[in-house]
Structures are given as structure tokens and as C-alpha cells.
Structure 1
Amino acid sequence: MGLFSSIFSLPLAPVRGVIWVGELIQDQVERQLHDPVALRSELEEIDSAAARGDLSVEEAEQAQRAVLERMTGSGVGPIDRKE
């Protein structure tokens, strides 16, 4: 029975491979989005851009809020999974 199931599931192997690669990419993106070091550097970059005058006060606050939502996980986005 194992031989028959192997033969019939062989055409699905590329699909399983693509799904596996997609899951790996998604995990890596989530790790980078929620990495404390990366989040801190983003906050520092926002502060320095605001100090240079590249961002208005409202834009800086909005950007900081978005980073803090990612940090706390309170934001709902396409990458957030409800499990």
C-alpha cells in the first residue's frame, strides 16, 4: 500500500515544497518584524528623522505608534495569525 500512495502523492510533491518554502519565509518575516533590536533601531531612526525635520510631529507619532503596536502585538495585520 505504501508504494501506491507514494506513486499517487508524487505529483503533489512540488506543491508541498512551495507550501513549505512559503511557511519558512513567513516565519522569517514574522521574526524580523517582532525582533526587539530591529524595532528599537526603527524607533531610533524615527526619532532622528523627526529631529532632522524629515518627519512632522504627527508623522513621527504615527510611525512610533505603528512600531509599538508591532512590538506589543496589538495591531492586526495580514501577517498576524490567530491560532
Structure 2
Amino acid sequence: MGIVGQLLTLPLAPVRGFGWVVRQVTEVAEREYYDPAPVYAALRSLEEELMSGRIGQAEFDRREDELLDRLDEIERFRRGAAP
């Protein structure tokens, strides 16, 4: 793009900058949301709760299923499938 093109599109610079910021924030949010480490930590903590007797088997099974479903969602996302 030449200097004339840059001058003509200069008023759109804030819009392009805002779009870039939105893309960056979205990428960081997706990386954090689809990080499996917190889910694995929650599974370890859940097992500790079961072993110590703070929760029963039924509660453990329910919460474990939720966490395993979350890991499945993360795996689908990482393979490129839509959530």
C-alpha cells in the first residue's frame, strides 16, 4: 500500500488497532480456558477429598464425570474441532 493508500485509510487505524487487541485477548483467554493443567489438579484434589473421607463415592463420581467431560472438551478444541 502506498503513501496515498495509507493516508486514505488512516481514519480506520483505531478500528484496526481495536480488532488486533480483541484478537489478542481472545487468544489469551482461549489458551487459559483450554489449559488442561487446572483440570488435572482438580482431579487430584478430588481424589484426595475422597480418600480423606470429606466426600462420598457418589459425589466423587459426579464431580469426576464433570471434570472428565471438561478434559474431553479441551481435547476436541486442541484437535481443531469446534466446542
Question: Which residue type is aligned with residue 69 of structure 2?
Answer: A
C-alpha displacement of 1:23: 1.0
Distance across 2 between alignment mates of 1:14 and 1:24: 15
- With normalisation by structure 2, the TM-score equals 0.61
RMSD of aligned alpha carbons: 3.0
1:19-50 CA distance string (max 9 Å, x none)? 1111111111121123232231233345456x
The percentage of counterpart residues that share the same residue type is 27
C-alpha displacement of 1:12: 1.1
Distance across 2 between alignment mates of 1:47 and 1:11: 57
Q: Which structure is larger by alpha-carbon Rg, 1 or 2?
A: 2
- 2:43 corresponding residue in structure 1: 43
CA contact (8 A) 1:47 1:60 kept: no
- With normalisation by structure 1, the TM-score equals 0.61
Distance across 1 between alignment mates of 2:38 and 2:64: 18
C-alpha displacement of 1:59: 3.6
How many residue pairs match? The answer is 76
Is residue 72 from structure 1 mapped to residue 70 from structure 2 by the alignment? no
- Give the 3 Å change call, closer, same or farther, for CA 66–28 of structure 1 in structure 2: same
Structure 1: runs of 5 or more not aligned: 78-83
- Give the 3 Å change call, closer, same or farther, for CA 59–15 of structure 1 in structure 2: farther
